[in-house]
Amino acid sequence: MQFDWAAVAAGAVILLGVCLVLIRAYRGPTSYDRILSANAIGTKTVIFIALLGFMTRRPEFLDIALLYGLLNFITTIAILKFIEYKRLG
Amino acid sequence: MARRVSLLIALFAFWAMLSGQLDITVFGQAFLTVCGVISCLFVVWIASRMGIIDMEGHPVHLALRAIAYVPWLFWQIVLSNFDVAMRVWHPSRPIAPRIIRVPNTTRSDLATVIYANSITLTPGTVTIGVDSATNELIVHALTKETADAVLTGDMERRVKRLEGVA
Amino acid sequence: MNAMDIAVGIFLALGCFFALTGAVGIVRMPDFFSRLHPAGKNDTLAVTSIMIALLIRTVEYDYHWTVATKLLLIVGIIFVTAPAASHAISKAAFLDGLKPWTKPGDTEASNE
């Protein structure tokens, strides 16, 4: 197995970014800050999954990244709707 | 009808981009291609039953003029990123946030959405909402300069050109 | 080490810089509304620039062409959904009555 070390380094920086955003998710203070953090972490996860595919030379991971990007958006909207109307129906 | 055909072509192009199984001399790939075409036809049928293939649901009439608009927007996004990055890393955090109201004279709802999303993507401004009573956009600006830049209406002119009004 | 590797390195570094800027901005900015700016914008360019780097890698490693189109689709999806998501969050917060932070002494900003 040959690793793509440039992608590994980039992935490490993205994970550092996720850790920083987690600080904001923990501190709040409002629930909207936390949703924003969740959304930002989701975007960084899309980047990380794409990089993961290139790290191990398996670009099939891009399908997962694509789906994660769509799910991230739907999740954000669903949580907001739940907060606003207290139900999802 | 023309809009339905163009939606079918767009859906099939999307399918082809995701699967890439287009070598119809191989039996397996030919089978998958036929399945893809059937799926696209099914989606077009459902969408026309729902009545969502219109100016908003499939805005193909904007495609040609969008070729001029999208590169300009992308350049604005690059500029805005460097501007925001500078303000994030600057030790004294040089921001002066404010909420402003921007008059909106675009005609269709679709153009309003494009205008609002473009404002969100460009330097130091985020669209919060649309006040439909006074037809204004509520915009949060990071600094006074970026607020003034939106109020000059340069982007609105470009969106209206995209819409085909001006 | 060839020209392609150098281009990949530059775009990856640029993308990581913007992703990190977005994260730092979310931590450092004083209130919710100003946090929207780094979250909504820097992530968009971070995705774009990292996908450009991976696009060059796709050419270099001679992957199937659907890999390239999927990278472009990811960029397209982020470009459409990122402003829509940040608009949805900010609208919910605005309707909830969250007051934006203004710079102390900035009288013009607090008129609204």
Q: Is residue A59 part of a domain?
A: yes
Q: Is residue A13 part of a domain?
A: no
Do residues C11 and B79 lie in contact, with contact meaning Cβ atoms separated by under 8 Å? no
Taking the Cβ of residue B65 and every Cβ of chain C, the question of whether any pair is shorter than 8 Å is answered with no
**Taking CB atoms and an 8 Å cutoff, what residues of chain C touch A52?**
none
Q: Is residue A14 part of a domain?
A: no
Substitution target from B76, B128, B145, B150 for chain C, most C beta carbons within 10 A: B128
Taking the Cβ of residue B17 and every Cβ of chain C, the question of whether any pair is shorter than 8 Å is answered with yes
Q: What percent of chain B has pLDDT over 70?
A: 97
Q: Is residue A9 part of a domain?
A: no
Taking the Cβ of residue C65 and every Cβ of chain A, the question of whether any pair is shorter than 8 Å is answered with no
pLDDT in tens, C73-111: 999 888 888 888 888 888 888 877 777 777 666 655 554
* Nearest chain C residue (CA) to B85: C21
pLDDT in tens, B73-115: 888 888 888 888 888 888 877 777 778 888 777 777 778 888 8
- Which residue range forms the structural domain that includes residue A40? 28-89
pLDDT at B131: 77
Taking the Cβ of residue C70 and every Cβ of chain B, the question of whether any pair is shorter than 8 Å is answered with yes
Q: Are strands B136-141 and B98-103 parallel, antiparallel or unpaired?
A: antiparallel
Nearest to B80 by CA among C13, C21, C53: C21
**Taking CB atoms and an 8 Å cutoff, what residues of chain C touch B18?**
66, 69-70, 73
For residue B75, CA distances in Å to B122, B139, C18 come to 9, 21, 16
Domain count, chain A: 1
Do residues A46 and A69 lie in contact, with contact meaning Cβ atoms separated by under 8 Å? yes
Strand partners, B100: B139
Q: Predicted ipTM?
A: 0.85
For residue B151, CA distances in Å to A26, C16, C87 come to 37, 33, 19
pLDDT at B165: 60
